[in-house]
């Protein structure tokens, strides 16, 4: 995450996608923390203070970063005269013992450490597992625009196909990964094209009782998949789920409008306490 001015700038969507993707991996695979290159800058390295950095740190914490790798903190040998060694004349911020405000830095470091510690406790409370497809990393899918498929007020993680296969099961209608639980699986990103392998995993989760939301894919991105077999698999899944629901325990809601689906009685009934 790079530094941005809270008054006139916003973080690049690709950086936010990076943070969300990293924390999602930690949640899905049950890893204890998420580290990120933090508060990088490309301006005047000695001009950054906690006042100019706190909003950036808070934005990193929000999607799940729990370990700050501050950019940059080069070693300052005792014999080096002030102001010390920088990464470059214009790259990075200076976070070193020769920084003029270094002797006042304890509350700032304590704040970062305490927030990181607190967020590492317990299990993530997440509403939606978003399957972003199989064709591109998140920074390619959302490089110049934010992912707005999940409505405001709902937490979400990205879950790739490997995660769905290796870490995800269903317990009493709730999708359970190694480190988080989800109400629904949403087929987003590039899921307008899905392989037979992905369709097979969706079917298995439906058989276990999951709720899946997403439009039917048009084709497979893989030349290894037989088109006729793919069309049959799609038809069996989506036509079985409309309107009466999946014949097994789960339910497939055939829409790309996640906000509407989450507000519907089917989802609310399935997960009412």
User: pLDDT tens across 121-149, in order?
Assistant: 878 878 999 999 999 888 888 877 888 88
Specify the DSSP class assigned to residue 104: G
118's enclosing H/E stretch is helix 106-119
Q: Please report, for residues 52, 214, 256, 268, the alpha-carbon distance to residue 252 in angstroms, rounded to integers and kept in the order given.
A: 46, 8, 12, 14
Q: Compute the distance between CA of residue 184 and CA of residue 212 in angstroms, rounded to an integer.
A: 6
Taking the domains of the chain in order of start, what are their residue ranges? Answer: 13-119, 128-270
pLDDT tens-digit profile, the chain (273 residues): 999 888 777 788 888 889 999 999 999 999 989 999 999 998 888 889 999 999 999 999 998 999 999 998 888 898 888 888 888 888 888 898 888 899 999 999 999 999 999 998 878 878 999 999 999 888 888 877 888 889 988 999 999 999 999 999 999 999 999 989 999 999 999 999 999 999 999 999 999 999 999 999 999 999 999 999 999 999 999 986 544 455 557 889 999 999 989 887 544 334 332
Residue 189, both tokens: 């990103």
What pTM was computed for the model? 0.87
Total number of residues shown for the chain: 273
């Amino acid at each position: 995450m790079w530094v941005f001015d809270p008054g006139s700038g916003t973080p690049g969507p690709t950086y936010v996608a990076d943070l969300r993707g990293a924390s999602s991996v930690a949640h899905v695979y049950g890893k204890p923390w998420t580290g990120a290159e933090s508060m990088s800058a490309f301006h005047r390295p000695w001009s950054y203070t906690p006042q100019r950095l706190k909003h950036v740190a808070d934005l990193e914490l929000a999607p799940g970063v729990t370990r700050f790798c501050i950019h940059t903190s080069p070693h300052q040998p005792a014999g080096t005269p002030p102001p010390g060694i920088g990464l470059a004349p214009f790259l990075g911020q200076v976070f070193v013992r020769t920084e003029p405000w270094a002797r006042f830095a304890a509350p700032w470091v304590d704040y970062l450490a305490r927030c990181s510690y607190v967020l590492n406790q317990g299990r993530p409370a997440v509403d939606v597992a978003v399957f972003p497809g199989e064709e591109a990393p998140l920074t390619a899918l959302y490089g110049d625009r934010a992912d707005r498929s999940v409505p405001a007020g709902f937490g979400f993680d990205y879950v790739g196909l490997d995660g769905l296969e290796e870490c995800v099961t269903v317990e009493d209608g709730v999708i359970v990964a190694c480190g988080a639980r989800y109400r629904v699986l949403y087929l987003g990103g590039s899921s307008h094209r899905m392989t037979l392998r992905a369709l097979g995993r969706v079917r298995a989760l439906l058989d276990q009782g999951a709720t899946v939301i997403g439009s039917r894919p048009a084709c497979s991105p893989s030349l290894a998949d037989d088109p006729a077999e793919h069309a049959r698999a799609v038809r069996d899944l989506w036509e079985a789920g409309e309107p009466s629901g999946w014949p097994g325990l789960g339910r497939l809601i055939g829409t790309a409008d996640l906000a509407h689906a989450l507000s519907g009685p089917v989802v609310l009934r399935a997960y009412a306490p």
